[in-house]
Chains A and B, each alone.
Chain A
Amino acid sequence: MKAKVYITPKAGILDPQGLTIERSLPALGFEGVSNVRVGKYIELELPDGEGAGESLERMCRKLLANPIIEDFEYELIEE
């Protein structure tokens, strides 16, 4: 089964990448954009079965995200 994992900086953590984008948008004529946060998007395929969600959750905690500075969400897509 396929999975999509979204990793974002935790709320309240300074995100310099997001800030930089936010600051450069007005120069290109895009006014009023706020709260830009830059994260990571990971696609993966994992074995089908009951424990897929749980396994993915652990994967995120252990490796894909760093819980000290990052939040994560994921979607499992049954084929």
Chain B
Amino acid sequence: MSNTTGQDTGQKPAYELLGLTAGEYRGICERMGREPNYVELAVFSLMWSEHCGYKHSRPLLGRLPTEGERILQGPGENAGIVDIGGGLAVAMKIESHNHPSAIEPFQGAATGIGGIVRDIFAMGARPVANLDPLHFGSLDKPRQRFLLDGVVEGIAAYGNCMGIPTVAGEIHFEDAYEDNCLINVMCVGLVRQEDIIRARATGPGNLVVLIGSSTGRDGIGGASILASAEFDETAEEKRPTVQVGNPFMEKKLLEACLEMRDKGLLVALQDLGAGGLSSSSSEMASKGGTGIDIDIARVPLREPDMEPFEIMISESQERMLAVVEPSREAEVMAVCEKWDLDATVVGKVTDTGRLRVFDGDEPIADMPVKALVDEAPTYVVEPRRPEHERDQPLPEDHYPQPEDLGRVLLDLLASPNVCSKRWVYEQYDHMVQTDNALWPGGDAAVLRIKGRRDGIALTSDGNGRRTFLDPRRGGRAVVAEAARNLSCVGAEPLAITNCLNFGNPEKGPIYYQFQQAVEGMAEACEALGTPVTGGNVSFYNESFGQAVYPNPVVGMLGLVEDTGRLGTHRFQNAGDLILLAGDARPAADGSEYQLTVHGEVAGRIPDVDLEGERRLQALVRRAVREGLAASAHDISDGGLACCIAESAIEGGLGAAVDLEALAGGARDGLRPDLLLFGEVSGLVVLSAAPAAARRLQEEAGDVPLAVIGEVGGDRLTFTGAGGPAIDVPLAAAADAWQNALERRMAP
């Protein structure tokens, strides 16, 4: 076979430059029955990269529950699919675009959106929502402001142009992400069940059609280099490999693909993401149990002098690969022409079980599909508990209690992790498609389904700080928090998609964190009945040897029975009673209070009582659905005081809270600062009219439900035995919370 060298590789063997080990190279030779040529080696290096091959995660991911009666498609396809009844289904997927965004925030984030949106319409679904969980370093640093600004603009530019509302997300700022931001993107689509398309290349003789942008050198090596190696000083030099997004092209691609779906023209559909043509064609062949022949001479190029291997691994954006029957070719071309899209037959499905690449008539690569897709080696690393982990939480008197708790409240409300993210979500078109029954800012987004009474609820959550202190508890907590957020709007949690952001898994402590976090998530998913529909693993989130906080990010889907009866976090009426539901004891460990006021992240986070969590959430959902609760809001960053302050600010009504009523049950004897600002899973603040509050208490069963205060007035007061611990004007709290981010980002 010709073209074996492709490139001068100097002294190091080619496989090493492509990121493969000597052992992996031997494995490739064995499976090939000979030495691979450079094209084949390039394709293998991508397919066997951590990013495509899940070498360190595959053995552990099996622990996650992936089955349930609503799960129509679990992990392994472009996206997971969940049955929501009435013949409809939801496609959902989350992905990371961390490294590209750290290099070039605007394009990195934009192409992240492009990729995840393609995953959704590859399933035949129309994208209806984007969610974007983001993690940056401290905003005190100009570079971090630049990153936030660029990432948000990139998401806005792409998502807004596509006409897909960005309905929710979350943003955290911690030093741990300073050199390695986490940019996760999630997309959700709706599809009639009979319209679901899969990426199975079936029917030898069927045509393989490349649709969309021409192929250039962008992103070459992206999958193997960018996503699978740590960052260092050379990151800047890697800039040329960052892809540039064209949302207008993708909008046309979306509409054309859905039109072809409606006309029944597609046997299979797959997006070209990481690994480009190599991974899309081999994965389609693998799923179809077939082979694929590709003729690279037919691939429309943006640059004339591209090498064969470059064409095979290019990550040019806005391209889809379709399998169509020869008799429908003309119809496919007609749809593409209508949308002014290039479409080219670049190959055909075969029964060989091999991915064969030709340059015109000349064969240039021939590889077994199974070896490429299913036989990437897996690695198990000896897990080692990180040294910072503690068996015991900090003693509750570890920190002195601040004198001015009102000041603490205002500082926490103005912390970028707690404050309103309006500055961000107003840059996203969050209303297009006119389905948003709840606008951003609450616990979860709710979208109506036109023509139906029910709707879908969406949230994304991640808390690296807690997972850092205890990965198993952190894994449990993040799933529980997502479910709690959905319950607060009245939704029944159905399923999750996850993006697991970790450091270098070849290191024992990182492997340990990954293993423990997956274990914790699995336990919570089982207890709360939310299987995993797929997702993404992002390893090597390290810079200069320092890993980010281990951060499993969860995107969760829920169903609301009636979009006319939704929970809101806003207080509604003066005179309503404020209730605290749940029986957990907040702690400083891992809290925003600990970081902002005491300047450290230390201790051990409290465990999550999953059984109690399940009961609590059922009560909250009932309270919302039956209209008994006027508001419901999950206690998270900033603790109970910030939770109540947010409900008050957004509702335009003050609140008076009795700290003594708060300090019962599990919270017996807890110091006021921890009562107010400590954090723990399993607490929700409700408000209700007095009669409704009484009914709620009767119905609460074994879920503790304490009346702790009253809505009304224009101040926020928290009063203990010795008088008011906090007494601040609502307007001051509102100013701190609403405008903090805008002030930080002002030029």
Contact = CB atoms under 8 A, between A and B. Distances in A.
Q: Is there a direct interface between A and B, measured as CB atoms under 8 Å apart in the complex?
A: yes
B736 to A, nearest CB: 25
A66 interface: no
A23 B747 CA distance: 8
**Contact residues of A: prevailing secondary structure:** helix
Which label, helix, strand, loop or mixed, suits the secondary structure of the B interface?
loop
Interface in A19-54: 20, 23-24
Contacts of B747: 20, 23-24
Contacts of A20: 747
Nearest to A23: B747
A15 B162 CA distance: 27
B746 to A, nearest CB: 10
B143 to A, nearest CB: 13
Contacts of A24: 747
What is the size category of the interface that chain B forms with chain A? under 10
Nearest to B142: A27
A8 B747 CA distance: 23
A30 to B, nearest CB: 15
A24 B747 CA distance: 7
Contacts of A23: 747
A24 to B, nearest CB: 6
A13 to B, nearest CB: 20
Interface in B10-28: none
A24 B145 CA distance: 13
Interface string B709-747: 000000000000000000000000000000000000001
A43 B106 CA distance: 23
A71 B747 CA distance: 28
Interface in B641-693: none
A47 to B, nearest CB: 22
A23 B47 CA distance: 48
A23 B746 CA distance: 11
A20 B747 CA distance: 7
A20 B746 CA distance: 10
A1 to B, nearest CB: 22
Nearest to A24: B747
A26 B747 CA distance: 11
A36 B747 CA distance: 16
A28 to B, nearest CB: 9
A68 B593 CA distance: 54
A22 B187 CA distance: 38
A2 B747 CA distance: 38
B744 to A, nearest CB: 15
B394 to A, nearest CB: 40
Interface string A50-64: 000000000000000
Nearest to A21: B747
A24 B142 CA distance: 12
A34 to B, nearest CB: 17
A70 B747 CA distance: 26
A21 B747 CA distance: 9
A73 B747 CA distance: 31
A45 to B, nearest CB: 16
A68 B381 CA distance: 65
Nearest to A20: B747
A72 to B, nearest CB: 24
A20 B745 CA distance: 13
B179 to A, nearest CB: 21
Interface of B: 747
3 A-B pairs with the lowest CB-CB distances in the bound complex, closest first: A24-B747, A20-B747, A23-B747
Interface of A: 20, 23-24
3 contacts: A20-B747, A23-B747, A24-B747
